[in-house]
């Protein structure tokens, strides 16, 4: 591990400890903060994938059941489904269930619920290309073996007590590389990453969907998948977790 990454992980641990010292937090305050974070996360994650709902529109669709004029049914469903998927990972993080391939398929099934019934929760059976990327995902006949190896490596990292932020980055990075689904890989990968972070006492990482943020995000993934530099994406995730923890502490008024 390089020095810069080590420093970032130490900061993650320090900030997490400060948050843990103030737990349990008041239920009413905690719910308001977490609900706001969840709406922002749904907005940004869908924005990365091209959803055009604004933050306010996302809140209205998810919490008020409002139909936004001029927006497609798919965009409405993406907001509703993503919100439900956040609820799923929060509950799962509190359970003792192991994270495995079924977990990944369950998250994906929620993401594509009512959008693509045929492919929701199922691995793709056709080759795919990632627009704007030089990385070519594996052929469909390789998916079963690569997903088995993916889970095995994840389990090995856990047994070796690898830092949770690095494990979370791996869960996201490698799932996007394999690209096991015809659609919804990005959202599923980000949710899986956050499930692991929540289970280990960290806060949701909310990767932004602005043009500049999206370019930085895709460049970090490209560095890992094409140039074999996973540390670039690891640092990207660690920095995002630091920002998330700092914001959480600031809202709670914890110095």
* Catalytic position from the list 76, 108, 163, 179: 179
Q: Of all helices (H) and strands (E), which one includes residue 83?
A: helix 73-94
Give me the sign of the Cα torsion angle 13, 14, 15, 16.
Answer: positive
CB 205 within 8 A of CB 241: yes
Give me the sign of the Cα torsion angle 36, 42, 43, 44.
Answer: positive
135 counts as catalytic: no
Give me the sign of the Cα torsion angle 92, 97, 100, 105.
Answer: negative
The residue among 54, 47, 48, 111 whose CA lies nearest residue 80 is 111
Indicate which residues carry an active-site annotation.
179
């Amino acid at each position: 591990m390089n020095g810069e990454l080590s420093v970032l992980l130490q900061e993650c641990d320090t900030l997490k400890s400060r948050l843990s010292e103030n737990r349990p937090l008041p239920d009413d305050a905690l719910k308001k903060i977490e609900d706001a974070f969840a709406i922002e996360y749904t907005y940004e994650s869908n924005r990365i994938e091209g959803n055009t709902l604004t933050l306010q529109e996302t809140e209205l669709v998810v919490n008020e059941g409002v139909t936004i004029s001029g927006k497609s049914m798919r965009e409405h469903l993406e907001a509703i489904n993503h919100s439900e998927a956040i609820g799923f990972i929060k509950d799962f993080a509190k359970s003792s269930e192991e994270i495995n391939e079924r977990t990944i398929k369950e998250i994906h099934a929620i993401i594509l619920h009512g959008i693509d019934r045929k492919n929701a929760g199922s691995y793709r059976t056709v080759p795919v290309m990632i627009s704007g990327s030089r990385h070519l995902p594996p052929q469909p006949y390789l998916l079963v073996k690569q997903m088995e190896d993916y889970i095995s490596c994840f389990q090995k990292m856990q047994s070796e007590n690898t830092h949770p932020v690095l494990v979370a980055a791996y869960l996201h990075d490698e799932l996007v590389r394999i690209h096991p689904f015809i659609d919804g890989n990005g959202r599923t990968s980000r949710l899986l990453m956050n499930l692991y972070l929540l289970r280990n006492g960290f806060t949701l990482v909310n990767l932004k969907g602005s043009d500049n943020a999206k370019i930085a995000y895709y460049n970090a993934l490209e560095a890992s998948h094409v140039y074999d530099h996973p540390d670039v994406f690891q640092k990207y995730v660690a920095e995002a977790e630091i920002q998330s923890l700092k914001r959480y502490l600031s809202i709670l008024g914890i110095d």
